[in-house]
Structure 1
């Protein structure tokens, strides 16, 4: 089931980015692009936590060759993305998808957002969007199947929302966001099994910062892991390791301050606007 959710997420990202499914649900197996994405994310995790690895790699790569998928200048993912961009440019289209928006920016600001930036942004959307969406879908399905009570509450809410709708109708974005228990299930799934496990690092401002009883000096690098924070009993109580969506209906505003599934504040992940609707669409339609 985990594989099928990965393939589903990848196909949906294709629709969002290119208005075109990749067809992996039809094939039923991973493509070379997905395999490369996995390698890219592995090397990104290393470089993100130990940046000097990148510098050492760049010095040695002329001798030992490329060993970080993150720095690959070719390969399945890049070629696939380049082909999609080239095809759209040649045939033209008025699709209001992500690629369409990128092309509009490229046309309006060709220097600030050149073809290399366009290709990089499009490839990043495919690489980051598909894998993270698959993780959240797997977490939601796993905990819902594990707890029949939660599953039944969600099914009841969906049935109430779709009552009177024709068979096989699609739940709209507005309907999905108006389902409080569905939203709670999504938050709880990404709290207890975060998309990102490593520390999200930040640099302390020049004036330093006082956090509670602790003073942290200027330009010190600090960070916290969404996985650790999401399971903190100091925040979520003694049942922090238990999947209980109701907590978000009881005191959601309090927990929102500590919810780092998509980062926070000015560093909020831009993919949140894609990730949540995909999860809502997958579980909001029965």
Structure 2
């Protein structure tokens, strides 16, 4: 073979490879659109081709808008990615979130992991056992952790901390009255109250947010963090690589416009939380701890005692959970309080109906009294239904054998889930006018309809992965809401348009401006 023929052969081979490379995207596109096992399922055509369709909407904070409209347009089961399906039916909810059905968390949650994994020679990721409820993939480990902390986070134990919450609420009311009806950002003030309640209950400590009248920008900054995590979660391969390459993570963030900087006056509460909890834990676990007397009776004291009583609740678990109370709680409580107060304030007559249920006493309503206030409870549920804490699908992986969702077969390994915004607005579950704020729907429904509404609810997660701290969060909500409504008329100055609500995986009703006007100063 001559040199010329070798050269010609090389050129021909190169041309074939180039042609094949050029055709490959087209081949992949044709497969995903026409031959893929999910090809029959309706949805945006662009979504079937790539996760870019969904990621762009996540980046822009449009998950509230998408959640409201996507099932109305495409039906109860929708393909939102090459390998991802959402459904908003009661049937799908039961299939996906029922305990013991073999459905596990999807790789989306890699983006929310708190630790860097260890990688073995087969390129498998192994996660340290450090207690990470949101992102834990090991079901056995998760169940053990939940069993260990269960009694500590039950209402029967948490009720002893009501006095700490009462003190925070009293201080918050005094501060809000001192503002003399000035316009404030509702989300920031609900975040202030949420963090102060957590500080009082968990550490017998205050970050000084109520005193200063600001949260130091922490609510805004943490929400930008969820914007970033929500985009990364849709690209698990990139997320895996980014664990070992910060440069790649920065480049990906820059490409998607999800890089953000820390403002000058930023005042985070996590460093003091970590320092204070670490110091107390270290003191309590000294070998000669008989000389160490700590009279504080808070949630951290309970967790320290749990570690002493149950060594399988390791020191690593103890240290992580002390901080997780804040990490998991400050945004969920803030989101819930914001939506509840915004809905009550923007619907005339609602606050007055709540006041008719309030005990005629100067004290702050107890958790037990609040639960007996049926209309107030309906107002709380209805706001959380319309503006849930989670704005994207709580995604899972279809189990071995696959799933059947609304007549479609879903192969094993497919990412499946219900988007709370969509599920909570399904009229087949929540009745007519499901887009409207109607607390009465919880009071007027017959027994079967009420059970369905309660069951098909992702306010605090679904199935076996319900939020471990929901009882603490609910106790705060049930005490704060009646207390604020008793003292103030919540005058809504500005409500965002639905298309302007910025929703990511963690979701908040942003942009609500209010005036807290003391009831005794309201003009007749």
TM-score by length of 1: 0.84
Give the unaligned 5+ runs of structure 1. Answer: 70-74
Note closer, same or farther for the CA distance 1:268–1:11 as it changes in structure 2 (3 Å cut): same
The alignment of Structure 1 onto Structure 2 pairs a total of residues equal to: 274
Q: Secondary structure at the match of 2:395?
A: strand
Which residue of the other structure, out of 272, 287, 308, is the alignment partner of 1:80? 272
Structure 1: how far apart are the matches of 2:454 and 2:231?
Answer: 29
Note closer, same or farther for the CA distance 1:113–1:52 as it changes in structure 2 (3 Å cut): farther
Alpha carbon RMSD of aligned pairs, Å? Answer: 2.8
Structure 2: how far apart are the matches of 1:230 and 1:270?
Answer: 21
Structure 2: how far apart are the matches of 1:65 and 1:192?
Answer: 35
Q: Secondary structure at the match of 2:436?
A: coil
Structure 1: how far apart are the matches of 2:274 and 2:293?
Answer: 15
Confirm whether residue 113 of structure 1 aligns to residue 298 of structure 2: no
Note closer, same or farther for the CA distance 1:36–1:53 as it changes in structure 2 (3 Å cut): farther
Structure 2: how far apart are the matches of 1:12 and 1:106?
Answer: 24
- 1:204 aligned partner: 398
Structure 2: how far apart are the matches of 1:63 and 1:210?
Answer: 38
- 1:152 aligned partner: 352
Query: Which piece of structure 1 moves more, 87-96 or 136-145?
Result: 87-96
Q: Which has the larger radius of gyration?
A: 2
Q: Secondary structure at the match of 2:376?
A: helix
- 1:42 aligned partner: 227
TM-score by length of 2: 0.48
Which residue of the other structure, out of 165, 177, 190, is the alignment partner of 2:371? 177
Query: Which piece of structure 1 moves more, 52-61 or 224-233?
Result: 52-61
Cα drift, residue 79 of structure 1 = 2.8
Confirm whether residue 137 of structure 1 aligns to residue 137 of structure 2: no
- 2:236 aligned partner: 51
Structure 2: how far apart are the matches of 1:63 and 1:198?
Answer: 25
Confirm whether residue 249 of structure 1 aligns to residue 443 of structure 2: yes
Q: Secondary structure at the match of 2:243?
A: helix
Structure 1: how far apart are the matches of 2:333 and 2:356?
Answer: 24
Give the unaligned 5+ runs of structure 2. Answer: 1-183, 260-266, 284-291, 487-524
Cα drift, residue 211 of structure 1 = 3.7
Note closer, same or farther for the CA distance 1:16–1:45 as it changes in structure 2 (3 Å cut): farther
CA contact (8 A) 2:242 2:248 kept: no
1:194-243 superposed Cα distances (whole Å, 9 cap, x missing partner): 11101101122223333443332333220111011112233223411110
Identify the structure with bigger relative contact order (alpha carbons < 8 Å, sequence gap 6+). Answer: 2
- 2:200 aligned partner: 15
CA contact (8 A) 2:425 2:434 kept: yes
- 2:469 aligned partner: 271
Structure 2: how far apart are the matches of 1:11 and 1:78?
Answer: 13
Note closer, same or farther for the CA distance 1:42–1:64 as it changes in structure 2 (3 Å cut): closer
Which residue of the other structure, out of 382, 387, 409, is the alignment partner of 1:215? 409
Structure 2: how far apart are the matches of 1:50 and 1:262?
Answer: 25
- Larger proportion of helix: 1
Cα drift, residue 64 of structure 1 = 7.3
CA contact (8 A) 1:184 1:245 kept: yes
Note closer, same or farther for the CA distance 1:203–1:23 as it changes in structure 2 (3 Å cut): same
Note closer, same or farther for the CA distance 1:49–1:12 as it changes in structure 2 (3 Å cut): farther
1:171-190 superposed Cα distances (whole Å, 9 cap, x missing partner): 11111111111111111001
Q: Secondary structure at the match of 1:139?
A: helix
Cα drift, residue 112 of structure 1 = 5.2
Structure 2: how far apart are the matches of 1:31 and 1:88?
Answer: 25
Cα drift, residue 263 of structure 1 = 1.3
Structure 2: how far apart are the matches of 1:25 and 1:78?
Answer: 17
CA contact (8 A) 1:105 1:113 kept: no
- 1:4 aligned partner: 189
- 2:433 aligned partner: 239
Note closer, same or farther for the CA distance 1:101–1:44 as it changes in structure 2 (3 Å cut): farther
Note closer, same or farther for the CA distance 1:214–1:123 as it changes in structure 2 (3 Å cut): same
